[in-house]
Amino acid sequence: MVDRRHFIKKTAGSLAAAGGLALLQRSGLAAAGAEEPTVPDALPGKEALIKKTYRPPNYETPINYFDAPFTPNNRFFVRYHNAVIPEIKTSEWRLRIGGDAVRAPLELTIEQLRRDFEQVEIAALCLCSGNRRGAFQPPVPGLQWGSGAMGNALWRGVRLKDVLAGAGIDKSALEVSLAGADSGVLPTTPDFVKSLPLAKALDENTLIAFEMNGEPLPHWNGFPARLIIPGWTATYWIKHLTAVNVISKPFDGFWMKTAYRIPKDRFPSGQFSSQETETAMPITEILVNSLITNLEDGQTLPNAKPIEIKGVAWDGGNGIARVEVSTDGGVRWHQAALKQDYGRFSWRQWHWVFDPKHPGTYRIMARATSHSGDSQPPEPIPNPSGYHHNAVQKITIQLA
Ligand X SMILES: Nc1nc2c(c(=O)[nH]1)N[C@H]1C(S)=C(S)[C@@H](COP(=O)(O)O)O[C@H]1N2
- Residues in 48-107 that interact with ligand X by CB under 6 A: 76-81
Give the shortest CB-11-to-Mo ion separation in angstroms: 29
What, of ligand X, Mo ion, none, does residue 192 touch, CB below 5 to 8 Å by kind?
A: ligand X
Does position 238 interact with ligand X (CB under 6 A)? The reply is yes
- The residues that bridge with 399 in the sheet, in sequence order, are 301, 360
Give the shortest CB-238-to-Mo ion separation in angstroms: 11
Give the shortest CB-124-to-ligand X separation in angstroms: 12
- Residues in 168-197 that interact with ligand X by CB under 6 A: 180, 182, 192
Tell me whether strands 193-197 and 226-228 are parallel, antiparallel or unpaired. Answer: unpaired
Q: What are phi and psi of 115, to 5 degrees?
A: -90, -40
CA atoms within 13 A of residue 245's CA, in its CB half-sphere: 15
How many positions of this chain bind ligand X (CB under 6 A)? 19
Which residues bind to Mo ion, rule: CB under 5 A? 79, 128-129, 234-235
What, of Mo ion, ligand X, none, does residue 125 touch, CB below 5 to 8 Å by kind?
A: none
Nearer to ligand X, 66 or 76 (CB): 76
Q: Which amino acid is located at 367 in the chain? A: R
Out of 177, 221, 245, 293, the only residue in the binding site for ligand X (CB under 6 A) is 221
Q: What are phi and psi of 64, to 5 degrees?
A: -65, -15
- Residues in 115-144 that interact with ligand X by CB under 6 A: 126, 128
Does position 234 interact with ligand X (CB under 6 A)? The reply is yes
Query: Helix (H, G, I), strand (E, B), or coil: what is residue 29?
Result: helix
Give the shortest CB-80-to-ligand X separation in angstroms: 4
What, of ligand X, Mo ion, none, does residue 262 touch, CB below 5 to 8 Å by kind?
A: none
- Tell me the residue nearest to ligand X as measured from the CB: 180
CA-to-CA distance for 129 and 32, rounded, in angstroms? 29
Residues that bind ligand X (CB under 6 A): 76-81, 126, 128, 180, 182, 192, 221-222, 234-235, 237-240
